[in-house]
Every structure is written in structure tokens, then in C-alpha cells.
Amino acid sequence: MQLYNTLSAEERAIMIDDAGKQRLTLSFYAYAKIQDPKKFRDDLFVAWNKLDALGRIYVANEGINAQMSIPEENLEAFRETLEVYDFMKGIRLNEAVEHDDHSFLKLTIKVRDKIVADGLNDETFDVTDIGVHLKAAAFNEILDDPNTIVVDFRNHYESEVGHFKGAITPDVETFRESLPIINDQLQNHKEDKNLVMYCTGGIRCEKASAYFKHQGFKNVFQLEGGIINYAKQIEAEGLESKFIGKNFVFDNRLGERITDDIISQCHQCGKPCDNHTNCENDGCHLLFIQCDDCKAAMENCCSTECLEVIHLPLVDQVRLRTGKQVGNKVFRKGKSENLKFKHSGELSNNSLATANPNISEQEKQKQADIRQKIKVKKVLLGKAEHYYVKAKVGLFTIENQELNAGDKILISGPTTGNQELILEKMIVNDAEATTAKIGDKVTFEIPFRIRLSDKLYKIVN
């Protein structure tokens, strides 16, 4: 029984392209008592893997938090897998404003202590005593009330590219940081103000609203379904959007446009821009805003130092980052002094530029970061078995298709990186040969060290 991914992100992306089927990006959450999160996790993986569902899901004793991509044709079958559980019957699925077939490229379901890291002791207050849920129309109305204080419970890199007008946008890197900051800041307004909160999909506000009611706030409200659901409702009902800019999302898209307003700047040159990227240097991967001109000039790097690093030989790059903690590579949240135009905390409601609303879907895909990462089409051939350091020879087992002398190959791994070379000659089962088949042991010279976690691919384009 398969309980984990067996394909790389690149292989999955190729399969998605070849299938040519429309995929939906969606999210949902539910607080519930789950007695055995590990079994719950495994059961979900088996059911969802059959439906070609992908995504990042956290489960815990307190419930589930999911962001996913599924084939549109499997939507009803996917709903049926949720209906098996009483606490997910009729659950709201927040569909993305902008779908992307490559929003997720793996199915990752992790068991955690909590589905959102909030730093709260749930035993000290009633987590079910939440604020009043508001739909888009009611949310717009309460924002116009002079007695309303609206708070963004997202992080600095999220609010910088888009937020509700007039919102308090805490300069924080984690949700847990914002709770005591807002509590202290609003101590004198517990009874005379409407405390209105929002986040991406609503899950952070579920816990935050209960916490603030416990802290003595009398009038607590939250945006139902978060920004994602709000965007759907204002479009369907023809309402004014009081959210301005782009909604940051935690998948390969890194954002979905709500209004055409660009309210942030390229962190390197200051040009109006709201496109996030991750530094190309594997030892950095800083998340920052970068315009197309800087992306070309800096080769996706956040600084000249990182630009110099990516042009070093791989062995030197590995040496430089050995022992360094880079954390979650995709969404590293740290700030950098190199980012001269980074803004956090109190943010402007003014639009700096207007995005092109007529951009084609094809062009959107070209601009997506994931497209920059998938540079070659390749087929997995096998895995590394050993590296003979003195002879500089690698040993591989062929598990899929044939390998031929003259093939262009790619050796890939978390430490090795992605290394391409032309296979000039090889030893197959202790004898020189020009073809290796499934089950064969193959050795050939490699000018760099490989690891047992490395995979061997044939480049097919």
C-alpha cells in the first residue's frame, strides 16, 4: 500500500502536462477531535492518491488544514472521500481565484501537534466560542463603521502585496507573533470597538477570534472563508472590493490577483511589482519580490553575493551551505538588508501601478516560478548505489527504461543538486557495453561526488 510520494515534482509536472486535464486549486479546514491522526493521515493518502490529488495537508488531534490541487473531473469523487467523516460532511471547499495546474506537485500529508502553529494553550479557553462569521456584503458594511478596527492576521510578506484598506498589518513572520501584539495594541478598545479580523482562508481567525473573546473583547467578527471566499463573493454579487492587490498563497503560484492594483515594489529596484520569487541560491532561498528586469539581471538571486555563489562549482556551493539552517526552503520568511525596498508593518492603501488584466493564460504560466524550475523533460532511470571516491566512479541500478551510451543524463539530489552530462561510456554488469536494461548495475565516471539519495534521469528533450 503506497503511503508516500514516489515521483519527483518535475516528473509529476510532466505527467500533468501530458494528461492535459483541467485541475482545480482549493483549500479547506475543520476543527474536530481526531483520536488517531496517523491512521487518519494514511487513510486520506490512500483515498486521495487514487484520485491524483496533490497538495499540502496538516492533520492533528484538533482537525485538518488542507491546500490542494485535484483534477476537475474528480471533484465529486473527492467530495465523497470527505463525506466519509461526519465532521467534514458538507464542508466548504474554497476554490482558488486563479487556478494553475502546477499549484501543487506532490501529495504531502503530515501529522502535526496543531493544524496551525498558534502558540496557544487550548486548555485555558473555550476554542469553540468564536467570533461572528461575516460574508462579503456584511464584511464590507462593517468596515464602513467608524467604530471598526480591522486586523490582518497574516504575515508581513502576505500583507505587503495585498490587504484590506485601513487594516492593521502587524510586522510579523508567524501567526503566533501577531496574537500578543494585537492584544496589547488594542487593550483600551475591548468594549467600544468592533474587532474585525481576516486571513487567507479563515482558519487562523477561527482560533484568533476565540482567543480575543477570551481576552475580553466584546464585539469580535471574522471574514467567513477568508480572502479566497471574499473574492468569489464580490465577483458573484457585483460588490466593491475593499481588498486591494494580490492575495498571497502557499503554493507554487505564490499569489492570486484580487484587484488590478499593484501596491508593492520590487525589493531590488523599487519598480511597482507584486511577484514573489525564491532566491536561486540553494543556501538561501529567501522569499522576496522581484520584477522581471531584476529577475533577468540577477538570475533569480536576492543579492550579488548569492549571484556569485550560483556560478561557483557545485562542490564549492555545497561546502558554503554545509551546516547552515535554511529552514523551509520554499517559504523562508526572513528579511534581508539587501532588500532595499522591503516594506512591513503599516502599509499604504495607494496603488503604485495597474496590472495588465488582459494577460493570457499562456503568459501567466510562462511567468510562474514553477516553470522556471522545470527546465528539462526527463525520465527516471534508477538510483545511486555507491560512489568510488578515488576512481571518481558512480554505481547505479537501472529500474526503468534503457540507458544508452551517448545519452544526455541528469543526476539529481538534495545535496548534489542537478548535474547534467553526456554518458560517453559505461560498464554494465562488470563489462563495457553501450546499452543497460532494467535490473542492470551500471558504473561510469562522474566528476563530482554523488549520494545514495541521488536519482539518475535521462533527458528526453
Catalytic residue list: 199
Residues with Cβ within 8 Å of 260's Cβ and at least 6 positions away in sequence, in order, are: 354, 355, 357
- Type of residue at 325: Q
All cell numbers assigned to 308: 556569485
Residues with Cβ within 8 Å of 332's Cβ and at least 6 positions away in sequence, in order, are: 278, 284, 285, 286, 287, 326
CA distance 82 to 62: 16
CA distance 247 to 165: 13
CA distance 256 to 249: 7
DSSP, collapsed to helix, strand or coil, labels residue 245 as: strand
Can you list the alpha helix ranges (DSSP code H) found in 144-245?
Answer: 156-159, 175-185, 203-214, 226-237
Three-state SS string over 275-329 comes to: CEEECCCCCCCEEEECCHHHHHHHCCCCCHHHHHHHCCCHHHHHHHHCCCCCCCC
CA distance 211 to 125: 7
Supply angle C-alpha 178, 184, 188, rounded to 5: 135
- Type of residue at 335: K
Q: Treating both helix axes as pointing N-terminal to C-terminal, what angle do 136-143 and 226-237 enclose, rounded to 10 degrees? A: 100
